[in-house]
Amino acid sequence: MKAATFSSTELRLARDRGHENHGWLDSWHTFSFADYYDPEHMGYGPLRVINEDRVQETSGFGTPSHRDMEIITSVLEGAIAHRDSIGTGSTITYGDVQRMSAGTGVRHSEYNAHNGETHFLQIWIEPKVLGIAPS
Amino acid sequence: MHQDAFVYTGLFDGETRVECRIGEGRLGYVHVARGHITANGHALGPGDALKSGSGDIALSGGRSAEVIVFDLPEEASAE
């Protein structure tokens, strides 16, 4: 085994993350997000958001608007109905990973499309180019 | 993906051992979506993560683990 050449290993443990429970939505934030702000945890390079969300049945996010962000959604349990302003509509279930480039702006909604709680990760990565066309 | 970022997901259960090369000018990051796994000697559980800097990431000893590995550029500046 070769010698380790790094000295910057750092753990980010689950229990130390930001936590908000809104009832319909239970969310753990690895990095600062919404009402959770910790200057020590603003992201890692261009990785800006990892939210672990549990959304109750028949609940979801309206049409939040995003700009200049690569958004990856990975469903761990249940299913999400995704609709957005660029005409994409799909149901994301366990094992699916969806990527959306917000670019100049996308409005999208995510609703629980499952009889029961839906558990998913939402990951945001800052793009290297601003103002691209949404996709 | 409009960024020099690579995102890998893997399922680990049992003996499988994986080494992810990160390298100079890059940042490695492991997020455990579920299950348990050892990353660079650290036992991680659901929701835990490890920043490896430019160091490689060694994953082993997965127990029903679902893991996301990020290989990111060090500089996040937009053009």
Quick check: A67 and A134 in contact, CB under 8 A? no
Q: How far apart are the first and last CA of chain A?
A: 43
Note down the domain range covering B62: 6-73
Q: How many CB pairs under 8 A join A and B?
A: 117
Q: How far is B72 from chain A (nearest CA, A)?
A: 7
Domains delineated in chain A: 17-125 (2.60.120.10)
Q: Does B20 touch chain A (CB under 8 A)?
A: no
Confidence of residue A7 (pLDDT cuts 50, 70, 90): low
CATH of the domain at B48: 2.60.120.10
Q: Is residue B31, in this structure, part of any structural domain at all? A: yes
**Token pair of A38 as six digits:** 């910790």
Q: How far apart are the first and last CA of chain B?
A: 15
Residue of chain B whose alpha carbon sits nearest to that of A6:
B55
**CA-to-CA distance for B39 and B69, rounded, in angstroms?**
11
Quick check: A73 and A92 in contact, CB under 8 A? yes
Nearest CA to A119 among B63, B8, B66, B76?
Answer: B66
Q: Is residue B10, in this structure, part of any structural domain at all? A: yes
Q: Is residue B78, in this structure, part of any structural domain at all? A: no
**A93-97, B13-17, B48-52, B58-62: range with lowest mean pLDDT:** A93-97
Q: How many CB atoms lie within 10 A of CB A21?
A: 10
Nearest CA to A106 among A127, A92, A120?
Answer: A127
Confidence of residue A10 (pLDDT cuts 50, 70, 90): very high
Structure ipTM: 0.92
Nearest CA to B46 among B62, B27, B70, B29?
Answer: B62
Quote the number of domains for chain B. 1
Helix (H) or strand (E) holding A133, with range, is none
The dihedral region occupied by B33, where left means phi > 0, alpha psi between -120 and 50, and beta the remainder, is alpha
Give the tens place of pLDDT for each residue, A39-85: 999 999 999 999 999 999 888 887 667 778 888 999 999 998 888 88
The neighbouring-strand residues paired with A36 are A33
Amino acid (one-letter) located at A50: I
**CA-to-CA distance for B63 and A32, rounded, in angstroms?**
29
Provide, as residue numbers in chain A, all residues whose Cβ is less than 8 Å from the Cβ of B29: 44, 47
Q: Is residue B79, in this structure, part of any structural domain at all? A: no
Which residue is it, tokens 């835990």? B48
Give the tens place of pLDDT for each residue, B26-65: 999 999 999 999 999 999 999 999 999 999 999 999 999 9
Question: Between the CA of residue A41 and those of A12, A133, B3, what are the distances in Å?
Answer: 9, 29, 21
Task: Output the pTM of the full model.
Answer: 0.89
Asked whether residue B19 carries a pLDDT value surpassing 60, the answer given is yes
- Coil, helix or strand at residue B36: strand
